[in-house]
Amino acid sequence: MQEGKFYSVRMRAAKNGSHEQGGKHISGGEKLSTLSHMKHAVNALLEKGLTHSRGTPDFMQIQFDSLDEPIKLIKPLQIETNEVESVEIGQALSWNLLEKVGISRQIIEKAYTYMTQYSGIRGAILIDIHLGERIDYKNEKGVRVSRMDWMNTNFEKWADYYKVPKNSRVKEALVLATKVCEHPATVAELCWSDDPEYITGYVASKKLGYQRISKLKEYGDERGCRIFFVDSSKDEDLNSYIQYLEKQPVIIQWGEENDS
């Protein structure tokens, strides 16, 4: 890993005013960077926010903050890509995977209604696996998982090894899912993009790994969201769980045995 102090770099972009003014969420992004790489990090986030298929933003905020906490290194979740013929088959597969980790069909059904109900919020929503109720108190913001990254050289070696496309979307989603699933209170994550041109989504958990599903929604649909299924009995303090998601710095690092 690189030497020196690290900074959390964050971007959020909206259209028709800022998020606070009720603007439409366009894009968000997270990086960790040293000061010497800051221009590169800021530029990459600027580019991401300016070229999103949800629209051209008229509000963007890019900020960096120095990190004082030690950075936790985590191995990426195992990745698997499930090619499916249709959205129906893709969604049925996502149900099966969620059931495999112990979530009841009744709760999955609720989660599916939330996926569209809460589409367009910029963070994730947290639901309790026993009652299926939304448990974060973040309203239209949701919980923004932050302070995480994967250094490109290590990511590219991993991508070569697993023959995964070296695109930043897969990288960013896997970084997020790995951080989220590392916490013992996370049972699983269900995600598909709010990008109308991107229909691949995933179910992730520590046990299942990162299970990509090639079709989870129809092309052109702007609805998408992230849901974390949380076992609240495993973590008495919801605040400390949210604190971990928002504040614990994490770098994904592929195992040393494969990393020359």
Contacting residues toward Mg ion, per CB under 5 A:
28, 31, 149
CB of 198 to ligand PML, least distance (A): 6
Q: Which of 201, 215, 221, 232 is close enough to bind ligand PML by CB under 6 A?
A: 201
34 φ, ψ (degrees, to nearest 5): -85, 165
Q: Is the separation of the CB atoms in 200 and 84 below 8 Å?
A: no
Q: Which is nearer to ligand PML, 15 or 235 (CB)?
A: 15
**200 binding ligand PML? (CB under 6 A):** yes
**193 binding ligand PML? (CB under 6 A):** yes
What mask, x for binding ligand PML by CB under 6 A, covers residues 156 to 175? -------------xx--x--
Residues in the chain: 260
Q: Is the separation of the CB atoms in 145 and 180 below 8 Å?
A: yes
CB of 96 to Mg ion, least distance (A): 25
Smallest CA-to-CA distance from 252 within 145, 173, 179, 153 is with 179
Which entry of ligand PML, Mg ion, none binds 201, CB below 5 to 8 A by partner kind? ligand PML
Residue whose C-beta lies closest to Mg ion: 28
**212 binding ligand PML? (CB under 6 A):** yes
Sheet of 79-82: strands edge to edge? Answer: 79-82, 209-213, 201-205, 186-192, 225-230, 125-128
**8-state DSSP, 190:** E
**254 binding ligand PML? (CB under 6 A):** no
Cβ-Cβ contacts under 8 Å for 212 (sequence gap 6 or more): 79, 80, 81, 82, 170, 200, 201, 202
* Listed ranges 3-11, 139-147, 200-208, 250-258: which one lies at the site for ligand PML (CB under 6 A): 200-208
Q: Which is nearer to ligand PML, 34 or 81 (CB)?
A: 81
CB of 201 to ligand PML, least distance (A): 5
Smallest CA-to-CA distance from 118 within 138, 104, 89 is with 138
**8-state DSSP, 256:** G
Side-chain-side CA neighbours of 96 within 13 Å: the count stands at 9
Which entry of ligand PML, Mg ion, none binds 212, CB below 5 to 8 A by partner kind? ligand PML
* Listed ranges 36-44, 64-72, 187-195, 244-252: which one lies at the site for ligand PML (CB under 6 A): 187-195
Which entry of ligand PML, Mg ion, none binds 28, CB below 5 to 8 A by partner kind? Mg ion
Plot region of 88 (φ>0 → left; ψ -120 to 50 → alpha; else → beta) = alpha
Q: Which is nearer to ligand PML, 87 or 191 (CB)?
A: 191
List residues bridging with 210 in a β-sheet.
79, 204
Q: Which is nearer to ligand PML, 63 or 167 (CB)?
A: 167
Binding site for ligand PML (CB under 6 A): 169-170, 173, 191, 193, 195, 200-202, 212
